[in-house]
Amino acid sequence: MAGGVVKRAYKYRFYPTPEQADQLNRTFGCVRLVYNKALDERTLVYATEKRSMTYAESSAALTEWKKTEDLAFLGEVSSVPLQQTLRHLQAAYAAFFAKRSRYPRFKSKRRSRASAEYTRSAFRWRDGQLTLAKQVDPLNMVWSRPLPEGAEPSTVTVSRDAAGRWFVSLLVEDPTVQPLPPTNTAVGVDAGIASLVTLSTGEKVTNPRHERADRRKLAKAQRELSRKAKGSQNRAKARVEVARIHARIADRRRDHLHKLSTRLVRENQTVVIEDLSVRNMLRNHSLARAISDAAWSELRGMLEYKAQWYGRGLVTVDRWFPSSKLCSVCGVLTESMPLAVREWTCRCGVTHDRDVNAARNILAAGLVES
């Protein structure tokens, strides 16, 4: 954040007219098609010519596709989201070659997020009203919170979730995000399941278990879905009902994580966490559901960008650091510590709560690293 204003996305629901919904749905389909076709061509070029296709080559190919009879419909939607999806593909390849992510995958009509990104040349922003390219009327947006005064969106992303809800995300410069006054406090955070996180202060933050709270309702909706004939209207309605329950769970979870991450960053100059490999942990089938519901990766992501926003430090401790088995008082390492052991006594005579002890060790290790 140093040296400039933070760019921040403000997300709002909106309710499109039938004409707007039709245009946007066609745009989503074209975006997905262009991404998949470009990915297919890049993969083929590498397999046959042993070289990487550039963004410029993909962009030139898009121009040629529009001239063909089969793909002429690509010209019926705004060209900007199609160019943006090529840029996203380029970024995905860059992340792959930098070993930050896996090889890019094809977008699925059912499972992938339906979205389109518009840059400044493809929308009009006037008096707080947003009109997208190829559309006449502004979007009917629900202003759940105000934009910063005088904010002008530089990028607009429109999306539709599996529950049929429509959202628009406005990327603006937000001068209200400023570094917080320095403080001399630091906290270690141990992620868990019984408690969502345990802090080195001894506080345990309860895990709301949002998915478990709606599990019965979700199971009933999924049974109803399984009974519907494939391809029927009733099956489509049942699928939306399942998606609505999932969306409600995700919304509540996200709200809780935002409040927790904001509080940790505001109260502490340094936050220390473990570098957990959640993907590997999900292979434990007996705990996978609970780990997914805890959403540790999402919490970490929030801590990362909020620490950057507010001038705080976020330190990660190596995942192999034996935080649970190490006595935070005398430093003696216990050989074995089964997961079922929640409290233990060190030979120095101190009795530890497993999670509080781990959080204190995480804090100590993080302060050494920082």
Active site residues: 190, 274, 355
d(C-alpha 31, C-alpha 36), whole Å: 9
d(C-alpha 345, C-alpha 357), whole Å: 11
Q: In which residue are the tokens 């380029």 written?
A: 90
Cα angle value 254/259/265 (rounded, 5°): 120
Among 317, 327, 332, CA closest to 362:
317
d(C-alpha 190, C-alpha 359), whole Å: 5
H or E element in which residue 18 lies = helix 18-49
> How is residue 335 written in tokens?
């050989």
Q: Which residues contact 166 (CB under 8 A, 6 or more apart)?
A: 13, 14, 15, 16, 21, 24, 158, 159, 160
Query: In this structure, how many other beta carbons lie within 10 angstroms of the beta carbon of residue 181?
Result: 8
Q: Which residues contact 12 (CB under 8 A, 6 or more apart)?
A: 141, 142, 143, 144, 167, 168, 169, 170
**50: buried, middle or exposed (CB in 10 Å: 19+, 13-18, 0-12)?**
exposed
Ramachandran region, residue 295 (left: φ > 0; alpha: ψ -120 to 50; beta: rest): left
Among 139, 148, 145, CA closest to 171:
148
CA 369 distance to own-chain centroid: 27
Cα angle value 283/244/12 (rounded, 5°): 105
- What is residue 102's DSSP assignment? P
